[in-house]
Structure 1
């Protein structure tokens, strides 16, 4: 089982979250660092079975407002994998 750990501890800006995503998922340099690009590459470039997200509880309030979008995209990928009978995908917030 391949697990990706996305540690958001210490992020102060949305750009930092996308940089952490790029590093954790080992996305290519051309990753657009936006939610549409994350969805596209999650579907096409990610071979992980599970994503563990750490540090959400330490984000500043204004940055924490973007977390529902992150969760929505990860859940959409889990649903996508299930619908197409692909290997299961899940995420966990710790």
Structure 2
């Protein structure tokens, strides 16, 4: 599965995209803890989730991009062979 992050410039917009496209629960909010819980235990994730055109988000939200990168690393260890990749 591929998610295009073109035009995503806020943490809230990114989490809304995740909620809509990955089928997160109604209670899901813009929180990295909620994202982690959702991807490891609540929804069935695809074998590979590819995030494209992420540079604009990284420029606008550098702190959140660092958190996302750490989550990607942790997810690869916790959920192998499933993975999230930046492309």
TM norm structure 2:
0.82
Change in Cα spacing, 1:78 to 1:41, as seen in structure 2 (3 Å) is: same
Bigger helix share: 2
Runs of 4+ in structure 1 deviating by more than 2 angstroms, as ranges, are 58-62
Deviation of 1:63 (Å) = 1.5
Q: Which has the larger radius of gyration?
A: 1
Equivalent pair of 2:75/2:84 in contact (CA under 8 Å): no
Distance 1:71 1:23 in 2: 21
Gaps spanning 5+ residues in structure 2: where? none
Listed one character per residue, the Cα deviations across residues 61-82 of structure 1 (whole Å, up to 9, x for unaligned) are: 2324311211211221220124
Q: How many residues are treated as equivalent by the alignment? A: 86
